[in-house]
């Protein structure tokens, strides 16, 4: 489907690598499809016990490719939106998910971490969810999971003001298990994945079911998705994407909500 997502299975660990470093690993529809396929493979293959998510280059991911958002706002996007498959796969994953995050983790790059069971961030990490800046709303059930994790006030500031959390802050707030030097990041995350792969898989899956209500999370994703699609077609969103393309500040002052 795409060369921008690489997968490798070894010793029970499926490593999924975002490989579009020249674009800061910004996610295209095809990349979402490959990610969804990888998580689906993990669920169906008994040899896979853990999934490790990581990115090449200096960023984990810059989030959704804004050209894709812009096309959707103009009604030009055709075909299946694989992001929905990916988000649903995250919500229902029974295999442990481990993430290694360096540099920018924007939008879904941060919200997907709320579905990971262990998260390790480099000291270079910068987590942000600037949905309102793009006239959009949170996704991936983050409107539920983020306030539960870090509190309403901090979550609202991340969503509405686009406030950035650095690696140390992510660990302090509970968005990550630990912050480590960039040179040690992938080794630390891999070691955690290896440790999980040696635990009883049934017990791990049962623990996840007890800690996460997949039905509630999926329901919140559905509600967000409806509003997200409405917002994509709004005049505010068109102005936000036009401003980004024209490298100027958006002007929402004359637009109705």
pLDDT digits (tens, 9 = 90+) for 164-214: 999 999 999 999 999 999 999 999 999 999 999 999 999 999 999 999 999
Q: Check whether 74 has a pLDDT greater than 80.
A: no
User: Which one, of 110, 253, 125, 128, lies nearest residue 184 by Cα?
Assistant: 125
Q: How many CB atoms lie within 10 A of CB 199?
A: 13
* Percent of the chain residues topping a pLDDT of 90: 88
Average pLDDT along the chain:
94
Q: How far apart are CA 92 and CA 40, in angstroms?
A: 10
- Which tokens belong to 34? 């490959």
227 in any annotated domain: no
Say if residue 214 is exposed, middle or buried (CB neighbours under 10 Å; 0-12, 13-18, 19+).
Answer: middle
Measured between its terminal Cα atoms, the distance across the chain in Å is 38
Q: Check whether 59 has a pLDDT greater than 70.
A: yes
pLDDT given for residue 256 in this prediction: 73
pLDDT in tens, 120-153: 999 999 999 999 999 999 999 999 999 999 999 9
**Tally of structural domains, the chain:** 1
103 in any annotated domain: yes
pLDDT in tens, 212-229: 999 999 999 999 999 999
Q: Check whether 85 has a pLDDT greater than 70.
A: yes
Task: State the pLDDT confidence band at 68, using cuts at 50, 70 and 90.
Answer: confident
Kind and range of the H or E element at 100?
strand 97-101
* SS3 call for 48: coil
Cross-strand partners of 106: 128
- Strand order across the 13-18 sheet: 5-10, 13-18, 50-55, 97-101, 118-122, 178-180
Q: Check whether 70 has a pLDDT greater than 90.
A: no
Q: How many CB atoms lie within 10 A of CB 187?
A: 12
Least confident of 73-87, 111-125, 210-224: 73-87
113 in any annotated domain: yes
What CATH number is associated with residue 73?
Answer: 3.90.226.10
pLDDT given for residue 66 in this prediction: 81
The boundaries of the domain holding residue 147 are 5-182
47 in any annotated domain: yes
User: Which one, of 44, 60, 21, lies nearest residue 52 by Cα?
Assistant: 60
* SS3 call for 251: coil
- Residue 173: phi and psi, rounded to 5, are -85, -10
206 in any annotated domain: no
204 in any annotated domain: no
Q: How far apart are CA 257 and CA 30, in angstroms?
A: 32
CA angle 156, 159, 165 (to 5 degrees): 90
């Amino acid at each position: 489907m795409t060369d921008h997502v690489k997968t490798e299975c070894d010793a029970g660990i499926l490593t999924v690598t975002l490989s579009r470093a020249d674009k800061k690993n910004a996610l295209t529809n095809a990349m979402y499809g490959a990610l969804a396929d990888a998580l689906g493979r993990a669920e169906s293959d008994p040899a896979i016990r853990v999934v490790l998510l990581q990115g090449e280059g200096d960023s984990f991911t810059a989030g959704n490719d804004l050209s894709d958002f812009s096309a959707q706002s103009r009604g030009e996007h055709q075909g299946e939106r694989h992001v929905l498959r990916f988000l649903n796969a995250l919500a229902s994953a029974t295999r442990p998910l481990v993430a290694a995050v360096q540099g920018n983790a924007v939008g879904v790059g941060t919200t997907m971490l709320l579905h990971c069971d262990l998260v390790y961030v480099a000291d270079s990490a910068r987590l942000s969810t600037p949905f309102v800046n793009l006239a959009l709303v949170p996704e991936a059930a983050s409107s539920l999971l983020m306030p539960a994790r870090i509190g309403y006030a901090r979550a609202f500031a991340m969503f509405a003001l686009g406030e950035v959390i650095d690696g140390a802050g992510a660990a302090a707030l509970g968005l990550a298990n630990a912050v480590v030097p960039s040179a040690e990041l992938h080794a630390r995350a891999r070691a955690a994945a290896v440790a999980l792969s040696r635990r009883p898989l049934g017990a791990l899956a049962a623990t996840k079911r007890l800690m996460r209500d997949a039905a509630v999370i999926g329901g919140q994703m559905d509600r967000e998705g409806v509003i997200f699609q409405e917002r994509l077609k709004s005049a505010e969103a068109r102005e936000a994407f036009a401003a980004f393309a024209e490298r100027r500040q958006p002007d929402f002052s004359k637009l109705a909500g």
